[in-house]
Amino acid sequence: MTQTDPAPDTAQEVLIDVRGVVARYGHRLVLDGVDLEVHSGEIMVIMGVSGSGKSTLLRLMLGLKQPTRGSIRVMGHEVTRAGTRELYRLREQLGVAFQGGAMIGSLTIGENVSLPLTEHTDLDVRTIRIIARMKLEMMGLSDVEDMMPAQLSGGMLKRAGLARAIVGDPKILFFDEPSAGLDPVTAVELDERILLARRAMNLTIVVVTHELESAIKIADRIAVIQDGRVLETGTVEEIRASGDEHIQDMLHRRPRKETIDPDAYLDRLTK
């Protein structure tokens, strides 16, 4: 069993509360009645295969997309009804590390990492520079401040993205597919940095991933999403012991069993 840092005692305070969320892209139903809580200080890993709806759920939590139905409260703010100013103030307390790092190619790594503070605070430029360097050091990235994003490896870009996500000391960190595209060794290094960031900053972290090993390593709790629904939420041990066939298939890397509706299939072929 992989040991993780235990979540702090404040774990029972609910920082994110998702209730009955339904979401669509056009006519396609992506989330079909999702309930989920994220507790203060915990690392919640939302797992699912591609197309399960997990990234959509992340976007909804950040107020980047509105659900068709349901409620999403983040740190007491009802995100589904929040105005622009309220969302702006809420997002100042959130950090987001996007898949691929999402660095601005024409800025140095130091400028990229500093950007949230440069844009949203009145801190002196020297203070910002020190903070950015501290966060890069925390991510094991000394001496990259003056490099351009194109000069960094994939793993280093992810760590720089994480440094930027935590530069403003957020209350909640969201991480979208942190291990995507990384070799196993680099992925493990990134997992260690996520755990370090949680310890150093007492962060609550939401990670969206399909990488099983990473989830087991870092999660306090895992929510498994399939076909737009939460199959089960629990600790790593509880998920391992799940009697759900789909979860066991995922844990044992068994391919999904395809089922065909013969009538619908015939209609698709002949319409």
In the DSSP assignment, the letter for residue 41 is T
**Nearest approach, Cβ of residue 131 and other proteins (Å):** 5
How many Å apart are CA 233 and CA 151, to the nearest integer?
Answer: 40
How many Å apart are CA 164 and CA 171, to the nearest integer?
Answer: 14
* Cβ(39)–Cβ(204) below 8 Å: yes
**Nearest approach, Cβ of residue 263 and other proteins (Å):** 60
| CB nearer to other proteins: pick between 196 and 212 | 196
- Three-state DSSP class for 25? strand
Q: Which residues pair with 32 in a beta bridge?
A: 22
Q: According to CB under 8 A, which one of 2, 10, 66, 121 is a site residue for other proteins?
A: 121
Among residue numbers 125 through 144, which ones bind other proteins (CB under 8 A)?
Answer: 126-128, 130-131, 134-135, 137-138
64 binds other proteins (CB under 8 A): no
| CB nearer to other proteins: pick between 137 and 183 | 137
| CB nearer to other proteins: pick between 122 and 258 | 122
Task: Give the side-chain half-sphere CA count within 13 A for 49.
Answer: 12
* Cβ(208)–Cβ(52) below 8 Å: no
Q: Which residues contact 228 (CB under 8 A, 6 or more apart)?
A: 23, 29, 30, 31, 32, 33, 34, 52, 53
**Nearest approach, Cβ of residue 197 and other proteins (Å):** 9
Listing DSSP states for 234-246 in one string gives: E-HHHHHT---HH
| CB nearer to other proteins: pick between 81 and 199 | 199
| CB nearer to other proteins: pick between 171 and 210 | 171
Among residue numbers 172 through 231, which ones bind other proteins (CB under 8 A)?
Answer: 196, 199-202
| CB nearer to other proteins: pick between 200 and 266 | 200
Q: According to CB under 8 A, which one of 122, 237, 258, 263 is a site residue for other proteins?
A: 122
What residues line the site for other proteins (CB under 8 A)? Answer: 121-124, 126-128, 130-131, 134-135, 137-138, 167, 169, 196, 199-202
